[in-house]
Structures are given as structure tokens and as C-alpha cells.
Amino acid sequence: MATEFKPYPFDFVERQPTNPVPPAQQRHPVAIVGGGVCGITAALALARQGVPSVVLEADTSVCYGSRAICISRRSLEIFERLGAEQPMLEKGLGWTGGRSYYGDTEVLHFSMPHDASQKLPPMINIQQYYLEEFLVQAAERHADLIDIRWGAKVTGLRNEAGGVQLDVAEPGHSYTLQADWAIASDGGRSFMREALGLQLQGTAYEGRYIVADILLDCELPTERLAWFDPPSNPGSTILMHKQPDNVWRIDYQLRDDEDPDEAVKPENVLPRVRAHLEMIGLKGSWEPLWITIYKANALSLERYRHGRVLFMGDAAHLVPIFGVRGANSAIDDADNLSWKLACVVKGLARDTLLDSYSEERVYAAHENLASGMKSTEFMAPPSFAFKLMREAVLNLALDTPGVRSLINPRQTSAIAYRKSSLNAGASEDSAFIGGPAAGVPLPNVPVSLADASGSYGAGHLLDLLRAGEFLILHFSAGSTPAGGIATAAQNLQQRGIPVRLASVAREAAQHSGAEAAPQALDASGKAFDLYDATPGTVYVVRPDGHVLGRWRSPAAAVVEQAIGACLNGTA
């Protein structure tokens, strides 16, 4: 008898193409192939910088099924800059840690870095279809700059010196779309990658996992739960994640002797899910929603820029699910690329700046792949030797706390571009004994922020960041800089470069003339301590929140030169 699958408790809206018959000769600054998480994030980020784009999405709704579910603090910070984070926070389930079991005995209880200084949770669980829907809704608020064409399948690509041409098939008609730049975000089976004859390089693991979503109402907290060799499924590894709407995702590893084609059938999956739920004391009713099979891959293109085509997300790299780096790294790709491409499109930067996108994000992919491979080799050992090692660690962990950190799943974290060609002020680093160096993402800390009336209220330092803007962060004795740093900001602004100057002071001192009250007050001194700052210290921050350079009391020319060199694609 066939298994009845209940539909997801989500309204999958069928959308129609925005332009049923697009203008034949219209040329677009940016065409984005693929309207998933990173494609829409890039379109939204470009729109926030005034750059129009057309998004070509082959499907007519957001994704269906069990895909990415864990969104990191770093990704939420990016969405906050884009004005899209609120519905995600309202719908998502925040969590800070998890538990691992060997058999039915707990061997690890881990926590991710989180304290009262943080504005956002370290991780939320939210289904990818919700994430995409909220991003699409945010994009629709920029309909004058974002043209999403649903049901638009790209069937041909010509990558030329002055731009790209894309052959597009929509229901009932086809056409050729011209663009100055194309972003390929069309997933793991990327047509764009195939059209350019490119191949992903790396490691494809033989181990397979069954992914099952079920509808289950229970009181278990939102944690990352893992079982190694549980009594319910001997020889397997099981993961559980709670999602909104009482949806639970259960992943379990297939044994080497199992036929994947048979193992994925509902009659073989559901009894194993039931056995696991009963093992942990959940004997109430539940309903299946989705079943699929997954194979871990650690693969990447060697370069993400190919002429006028730029790759990101799964089109550029495939990362194992362990450590939740897939969607989060794709969001970081979009954040890194969008400000650079916007500067190029607006004539503020040479296109060599786009080479730094490839440099930094290929480096980030290798970092993510290295961590993902370590997690994969523990979660799904690829050989007998790895199995022996894992068994030894798990046995020792039962009564030896010192080895339990080896079980840690190494959750995703923001990547620091410490060796980026864009980094400035390296000679100044010796003047600092702490704080974020060039290439490091800006850390957050509570401060009091001034509103339009000059009154101060609770806020965080990252609230000073704006989409597409460089931030000159000046630590002062009590007022904004009236001299060189202010002149540097004004000179850059007169050249059309999006720069914002913000001052952080321990207290609002008396000010007059050209001086003004600081934008942020750090009465506790936490920001000064976190940034190893003294009065006169300056941090220059890129639009994606990474430190470009830092100095003790720099001359105006130093700051101007650092941002100018960055836009030229060099330090």
C-alpha cells in the first residue's frame, strides 16, 4: 500500500513571469541565473546600492522539500543590512548548542559562542522555503530595481569580452537577454558551469544519508542532536533538527551493505524513523512529509570569475551538510560579490576588484571544505581506519572529558580574509595587541546610538554598517573628528564613493564649531577594549563588514589611499 505524504504546512505560491514579453533589445547591468537563496540575496544587495538586475528562475515557486535549515549569525547580520531579517527571526527557532550520544549515552554537550553582547542568536533553524519566500518578499519591495522572471530557463550562454548573452525559454516564448555581467547561482547542477565547460574539483564521499522530514508535535528543545551507533539503528549515525511548524528533520547514515535505491523507499525509511523516535521516548503520532537521499561532496571550482560570468553558491562549490556551511557560505558569497560588482557597474572601481571576489571566496570555500571534510569523516567515516578512530574517540568520551571536543561538529563561522590582496595597514598591526585585524569580520558589541534628534538609545556597533557603504570608524575622546579623518571622508564622498564616517566615544563631551556629538557612546568601555582602541584609532570597514585596515591616528591621505587601492583591487 502506498504511503500518504502530508504536504508541508506552507503556502507554496505559484508565481508568473514579471515580463511575459521582455523588450528584445533591452540590456541589463546584471543578470542573475538562479533565484534561490544566494541569487535573491545578491539581487537585493545590488538593489540596496541602486543597481538593477534581472533574476532568471526556472521554477515558478520557492524551493520544495528539505534543504538548508540552519542559518548562522553571520548570515543574519547580512540579512539585517539588507532589511530582510525580521520575518526570519520571527519565524525561525534560535539555538545555541547541541548534544551527541554514543548508543543512548550522552558524550557531548556543546555551546556556540553567545553572550549578552550579541544582538542575534548564533543560529536559527528555518526551512529554506521560508528563507526564500522572505527574501522574495523583500525583493518585491524593490520591484523598480529587481525583475524576477519565474519559469525562465536559461538554455544558452555566450560569454564575450563586453558582456554576456543568455538564451532564455519561458512558457510560450523564448528570447535572448543581454547583460553586462552574469551571476551564476543556478545550483549544484549548474547549466552555466556546464556551458563554460567547467568542472568542480575535490572529494566525493561514498557514504549516503537519508533525509526525512516529519510532522511531530513534541516538547524537545531546539538543539542539534546526534546519535552514533544508536540501539534503534545499529551501525548508523542519526541527526535531528527541530524546525518551525512542528517539522522535524531526521538524517541517518546508510550502512555500506545497503542498496540506496531500496533504502530510500518509504517502507524502509519510516520503520527506522519510528524506531528512533520510540528509542528517545516519542511514541505519539507523527506524519511523513519528505524523503530523499544525500551524498556528501567537498568540491569547488578553481576560480569563481570567468570573464563576465561570476559563480557563487552551489554553482561554485558543494560543501558537506555537516556544520551547516552550504547556504551560509552561499549567502557570504553574495555579500562579498554584490558590493564589488555594484562599484564596478557604477564606475567607481576597476573590474580587477572582481578578481578579489574569486580570491577571497575560493579561499573561504577551501576553509569550509576542510572543516566540512573533518566533520564528514567523523559523522560518516569513509574507511575502516576512520571508523576505528571514531569508535575509539566515542568510547574514550564516555569517561574522558578531554577527548569530547573531537566530537564537536565544528559549526560554521565567519571566514577571515587575513591574506586578502585588499587588506591595508599591515605595517600598523604591530601597534595593536588585540582587536580585529585587516580581513577579519567586524565583531559586535553593545553601544548607545544617537538618533536623528541627537538622543542616545540602546544599540550595537554593527548597526552603524549600511548596505554598500565603507565605514570609517573613529574612536574619539568625546566628539567626531573635525580634522583629517572628516576631510578624508568628504573627499571620498565627493568622488561618489559610498563612505560613512562614525565616531565612537566613551562619553559625549562638550563640542562646538566643526565638531559634533559622536554617533555611538561606549560608556562601558567594551567597544574600546574589544577593538584595542585608544582615542584617535581608526578602523576602515568594507561594505561586507570585513576590516579593510586599522591605524593609530592616521593622516587623511592614508585612509583615502586605502579605500582607493581597494577599489582598484589592490592593497
pTM of this structure:
0.93
Distance between CA atoms of residues 3 and 6, nearest Å: 10
The vertex-345 CA angle with 339 and 350, nearest 5°, equals: 85
Q: Which residue has the cell 585596515?
A: 549
pLDDT in tens, 193-242: 999 999 999 887 667 889 999 999 998 999 989 898 899 888 888 989 99
Distance between CA atoms of residues 181 and 309, nearest Å: 6
String of b and e for 289-298 (b: at least 16 CB within 10 Å)? Answer: bbbeeeebbb
CATH number of the structural domain spanning residue 121: 3.50.50.60
Residues 128 and 52 in one domain: yes
Banded model confidence at residue 402, pLDDT cuts 50, 70, 90? low
Residues 370 and 431 in one domain: no
What's the length of the chain?
571
Residues 49 and 126 in one domain: yes
Q: Is residue 517 included in any domain, yes or no?
A: yes
Q: What Cα–Cα distance (Å) separates residue 248 from each residue in 15, 290, 544, 563?
A: 28, 11, 33, 47
- What is the reported pLDDT for 228? 87
pLDDT in tens, 376-392: 656 666 666 666 676 76
Distance between CA atoms of residues 407 and 108, nearest Å: 7
Banded model confidence at residue 395, pLDDT cuts 50, 70, 90? low
Residues 435 and 365 in one domain: no
Among the ranges given (52-56, 415-419, 470-474, 566-570), the one the predictor scored with the smallest mean pLDDT: 566-570
Arithmetic mean of pLDDT over the chain: 88
- What is the reported pLDDT for 1? 36
Can you give 456-516 as a three-state secondary structure string?
EEEEEHHHHCCCCCEEEEEEECCCCCCCHHHHHHHHHHHCCCCEEEEEEECCCCCCCCCCC
Q: Would you give the distance in Å from CA 90 to the centre of its chain?
A: 19
Average pLDDT for 81-100: 94
Range of the domain at 478: 426-567
Percent of the chain having pLDDT more than 90?
66
**Cell digits of residue 17:** 513571469
Between helices 73-81 and 326-345, what is the axis angle to 10°? 30
Residues 165 and 313 in one domain: yes
Domain boundary among 378, 393, 414: 378
Banded model confidence at residue 22, pLDDT cuts 50, 70, 90? low
Residue 387: DSSP 8-state:
H
Distance between CA atoms of residues 552 and 484, nearest Å: 13
Q: Is 87 a residue whose pLDDT tops 60? A: yes
Residues 40 and 170 in one domain: yes
Distance between CA atoms of residues 264 and 249, nearest Å: 15
CB 240 within 8 A of CB 333: no
Average pLDDT for 59-72: 93
Q: Is residue 280 included in any domain, yes or no?
A: no
Q: Residue 98: which residues within 8 A CB-CB, separation 6 or more? A: 109, 110, 223, 224, 225, 226, 409
Cα maximum dimension of the chain: 83
- What is the reported pLDDT for 479? 58
pLDDT in tens, 238-285: 989 999 999 999 998 888 788 989 999 999 999 999 999 999 999 999
Q: Which residue has the cell 556551511?
A: 325
Report the C-alpha dihedral over residues 190, 193, 195, 198, rounded to 10 degrees.
Answer: -140
- What is the reported pLDDT for 236? 83
CB 247 within 8 A of CB 194: no
pLDDT in tens, 321-355: 766 778 999 999 999 999 999 999 999 999 999 99
Residues 463 and 550 in one domain: yes
Q: Is residue 37 included in any domain, yes or no?
A: yes
Average pLDDT for 518-530: 92
Average pLDDT for 549-570: 92
Domain boundary among 378, 395, 411: 378
CATH number of the structural domain spanning residue 484: 3.40.30.120
Name the percent of the chain in helix, strand, coil, to the closest 5. 30, 30, 40
Residues 104 and 168 in one domain: yes
Q: Which long-range contacts (CB under 8 A, 24 or more apart) does 405-408 make?
A: 406/378, 407/100, 407/107, 407/108, 407/378, 408/108, 408/110
Residues 52 and 174 in one domain: yes
Q: Is residue 206 included in any domain, yes or no?
A: no
Residue 244: DSSP 8-state:
G
Nearest partner of 362 among 439, 304, 420, judged by Cα:
304
Residues 506 and 364 in one domain: no
Tell me how many domains the chain contains: 2
